[in-house]
Structure 1
Amino acid sequence: MPTEQQFLPDDAPADDAAAAPRRGRPGYDRETLLSVCVEVFNRYGYDATSMGTLSRHLGISKSAIYHHVESKEAILGQALDRALDALEAVFSEVLANGSGPVNKLEQILDGSVRVLVAQMPYVTLLLRLRGNSEVEEAALQRRRHLTHTVEDLVRQAQERGELRTDISGKSAPRLMLGMVNSIVDWYQPGRSGTVDQLADTVVTMVFAGLRA
């Protein structure tokens, strides 16, 4: 489930997190504020980033940041939801179709690559979590659930004789997802091929070695 931290409306009391979002102070709407904060988290690390650091990069005072958001952890929660909601949507759509386990795995890898490219700063932040807070641990639990889903599909495919059984059903899913996750370290839009080419390459490389 998505985390509950919310951006606060500009004129709302601190306990009115459910109010409808509005534009923040001049120059920063909610989307821009979140984007800059995620960039700073990825540059310095979430734990090492203080509200003072965010203040300097945003060019507004710390009190102005609190006028926009409830806490640093609230910003993190919103950013992680952005990545996880998109990934979970891919998994949900694929699992709902009637294809076999191998086709589902191919579609999940393809969709995950596309989410990673589209939401790269947010997925990068997700991949660097250490589980040092309740928000982080909740996000890691959601990520583990996705990994377990891939494990189940690999096991089903092996039982049906569609994937090699001499490859560990525990290691293979993590290596598959690890290949996708590594994209954040080197992919440059416009310089590393199109997202279609990237997704096709990942799927082809993975299943060329796994098919029975």
Structure 2
Amino acid sequence: MLLVGSVARRDVYTAQSLLEVAVGVFNERGYDGTSMEHLSRAAGISKSSIYHHVPSKEELLRRAVAHALDGLFAVLDEPAAGEGRAVARLERVVRRTAEVLMERLPYVTLLLRVRGNTDTERWALVRRREFDQRVAELVRAAVAEGDLRPEVDPRLATRLLFGMINSIVEWYRPHPGEPVVSGDVVEAVISTAFDGLRQPAVSGSAP
């Protein structure tokens, strides 16, 4: 009876559902503080059943941070991120980045907490820097086109933008029944960021 029950329990687990459990445990305990035993208990399946889906704990980490990174880089590949004035593209990227963060909140939270202690973590940090650099290029272009304040340092502006966006992982928890992505949060990010970054409009001369 127990064997049959165990097999049935394992069969309902998929690689995706196991990944969701692992991400929750990694975020709660930290990746380094999580053992396969912790994952086994959280999932309610044996360690051998976990190995049926993935070869190692680090593979679960790789899949998790890759899911977060894929969502972020997909933002840069959207048509609206590559057309028009740089400031409009930048605003689009910031908006969609905030949306992706909320849509993939546990995964992005984990991504933001990696420290470079494993090959997977170092790979994730390199990819994060690449994403930041591409956004900084948009900031530089928007300054050059005269739409952002000329005194804005692109690297600093990028850090400030993502400092604000990334802080969402520390407090954003949608209530049951609420949409995963909060339009109020997104609009607050956009207005707070761009009201300070935009070059003030030049008023016409009085007659």
The bucket for the TM-score relative to the shorter chain is 0.7 to 0.9
Are the aligned partners of 2:86 and 2:145 in contact in 1 as well (CA < 8 Å)? Answer: no
1:69-102 deviations in Å (ceiling 9; x for gaps): 1100110111111111011001111575321110
Identity of aligned residues (%): 47
Larger radius of gyration: 2
Are the aligned partners of 1:94 and 1:107 in contact in 2 as well (CA < 8 Å)? Answer: no
Are the aligned partners of 1:82 and 1:122 in contact in 2 as well (CA < 8 Å)? Answer: yes
1:9-49 deviations in Å (ceiling 9; x for gaps): xxxxxxxxxxxxxxx92331122111000000000000110
Once residues 19 and 140 of structure 2 are traced to their aligned partners in structure 1, the CA distance between those partners, rounded to angstroms, is: 39
- Aligned position for 1:173: 158
Shift in Å at residue 167 of structure 1? 2.6
TM-score by length of 2: 0.86
TM-score by length of 1: 0.84
**Which aligned segments of 4 or more residues in structure 1 are displaced greater than 6 angstroms?**
none
The reply on whether 1:157 has 2:123 as its aligned counterpart is no
Once residues 52 and 96 of structure 1 are traced to their aligned partners in structure 2, the CA distance between those partners, rounded to angstroms, is: 43
What number of residue pairs does the alignment pair up? 190
The reply on whether 1:91 has 2:76 as its aligned counterpart is yes
- Aligned position for 1:211: 198
- 1:130–1:95 distance in 2 versus 1, CA, 3 Å: farther
Once residues 179 and 113 of structure 1 are traced to their aligned partners in structure 2, the CA distance between those partners, rounded to angstroms, is: 10
- Aligned position for 2:52: 67
Unaligned runs of 5+ in 1: 1-23
Question: Aligned with 1:79: secondary structure?
Answer: helix
The reply on whether 1:147 has 2:132 as its aligned counterpart is yes
Are the aligned partners of 1:102 and 1:162 in contact in 2 as well (CA < 8 Å)? Answer: yes
1:38-57 matches, within 5 Å, as 38-57=23-42
Judging by fraction of residues, say which structure has more helix: 2
Unaligned runs of 5+ in 2: 1-8, 200-207
CA-based RMSD of the aligned residues comes to: 2.0
Question: Aligned with 1:64: secondary structure?
Answer: helix
